[in-house]
Homo-oligomer: A and B are copies of this chain.
Amino acid sequence: MNYVGLDIGGTTIKAGLVSESGLVLSTAHAATVADNLEGLVETLAGLVAHFNPVAQFEAVGMGIPGILSARTHRVETSPHIPCIHHVNLEEILSKRLKIKVLSDNDANAGAYAEWTCGAGKTLGHMAYLTIGTGLGGGLILSGSLYRGASGFAGEMGHITVEPNGRRCACGSTGCLETRVSGPGLVETARELSPGYAALTAESIYKAACAGDKVALRAFEVTGQFLGIACANLINLLNIEMIVIGGGVIASGDLLLDSARAEVQQRAFEPAARICPIVQSQLWPNAGLIGAAMLARDHQ
């Protein structure tokens, strides 16, 4: 039996028809409607309907960029999609489609994908970080997706890595996300060289590939902060793998080599030795595959 996975991003919704074993059979996408709940539900229903004539599917899974209550399944907060604030999107879409719909945090879905079908298959303990406009995270602990007491666990973007660091949208200062994210990388490049011309993470990546020193150093500094977060995860949770996805990870070892060097400085050696830091195997489909696999496993 197949499943539909929806990965709802701040600007785009990715949809996929996913097989029982996690293979993506077909995909579709649409622009996210962020400020109008009815419009968003119509868009989601349209994406699901896209797969309807092609194949039967059992259920729909959704990855949502926000914090969901494990008890009520409501979205507690979603900075990029205000129209779903305090909404049970799962219930609304399920009524609309007359099919079982399951929702979870988008980074939890990514973690679940890498654990069931990707880099972390068969592991007992792993972390997944997704680095894009923000930084999201999901944890697999003791062989299951770890949600914590209320479903809020895995907010790695808001771990403090610099007490007096940059102001974060969450209200705190020095959150990992202010350093390790597309905008964080751009800000670092500008701090290194005021008036620096490369204005996006992608253009900094291209400059780095061409040997630009500011761009290379911006990746190195960003990787150091990523490494601090990875070392904290290793010392605290003694996990077996850290999988890193998200748009910024296209830069690959440019970021990860610096992170790995920092981990060697900071993590307890026997724990760091068993915890490789690797790129996502399923990116950019990790979110939709994970959403589909959550729908498969939690009916």
Q: A-side interface residues toward B, CB under 8 Å?
A: 67, 76, 124-125, 137, 139, 141-142, 144, 146-156, 158-163, 170-172, 224-225, 228, 231-232, 235-240, 265-266, 268, 270-271, 274-275
Contact = CB atoms under 8 A, between A and B. Distances in A.
Contact of A156 (B161, B236, B238, B271): B236
A150 B156 CA distance: 23
A159 B225 CA distance: 13
A266 B155 contact: no
A67 B268 contact: yes
B159 A236 contact: yes
Contact of A238 (B149, B162, B275): B149
Contact of A235 (B159, B162, B163, B231): B159
A235 B171 contact: no
Nearest to A156: B236
Nearest to A171: B265
Contacts of A151: 238
15 contacts: A67-B268, A142-B142, A142-B144, A146-B237, A149-B238, A152-B238, A153-B236, A153-B237, A156-B235, A160-B228, A160-B266, A162-B163, A172-B231, A172-B266, A236-B236
Contacts of A266: 158, 160, 172
A274 to B, nearest CB: 6
